Amino acid sequence: MNIKILGCHGSDSLTHEGGQEHCCRSIGFLVNDSLMIDAGTVSSALNLESQKRIRHIVLTHAHIDHLKELPSLADNLISCTTNPITVASIPQVLGDLKAHIFNDVIFPDFFALPDTEHPILRTEVLHEGQESQLGDVRLTPISVNHLVPTVGLIIRDQHVAWVLSGDTHQTEALWHAAAQVPNLKAAFIETSLPDEMSDLALAS
């Protein structure tokens, strides 16, 4: 399995004014060139040909740093693909995405554009604790401890597995589930704030 980290921060910034190198980018993991886990960084880190290869986007939760380039991706691809891109998550996250982003106020409803028969985006519901096949990998969402409905993910193919915590404070179910997975090779764990900022960590 090939994993590219397009971004792993809660914000975006350039290293040098006027340069192109970033010292941080919002969350986005590209798996096997065709599946994104979170979409905080997707369009700005990939050229159009690479964006066209994305067929599935899995969202851990609805915070903006995890989804803010999904509107850009839809806008970039609407004229160059006829197959909808699947946006998969638990029901609460998909509901928030439609209510607060693709609501024809903040951004057009790309789940119904260019027309309802052939939208650029379609949803797929993931169920907590149940494994789903998306492209060439299988994912199991496990609820974690965050301010909004959020899942960590166990991702596997026939050879290897890895676990992504998503945004979480102390949590247990994800680690118990991951411990049962054969061939678990890596754990990507959120570490947004250092111990000396634990008050902010608890508040946020």
Which residues in this chain contact Zn ion in the complex, by CB under 5 A?
63, 167
CB of 167 to Zn ion, least distance (A): 3
CB of 12 to Zn ion, least distance (A): 15
CB of 61 to Zn ion, least distance (A): 6
Dig out the tokens for 51 from the structure.
Answer: 């964006």
Instruction: For Zn ion, give the closer residue by CB, 69 or 167.
Output: 167
Instruction: For Zn ion, give the closer residue by CB, 113 or 193.
Output: 193
Q: Which of 90, 152, 163, 166 is nearest to 126 (CA)?
A: 90
CB of 95 to Zn ion, least distance (A): 16
The residue ranges of DSSP E strands in 63-130, in sequence order, are 85-89, 121-125
CB of 126 to Zn ion, least distance (A): 17
d(CA 136, CA 41) in angstroms, rounded, equals 22
Instruction: For Zn ion, give the closer residue by CB, 183 or 198.
Output: 198
Beta bridge partners of 132: 139
Instruction: For Zn ion, give the closer residue by CB, 15 or 198.
Output: 198
**Residues 167 and 63 sit within 8 Å (Cβ to Cβ):** yes
Instruction: For Zn ion, give the closer residue by CB, 96 or 167.
Output: 167
Q: How many helices (H) and strands (E) does the chain have?
A: 5, 13
The residue type at 150:
T
Beta bridge partners of 152: 142
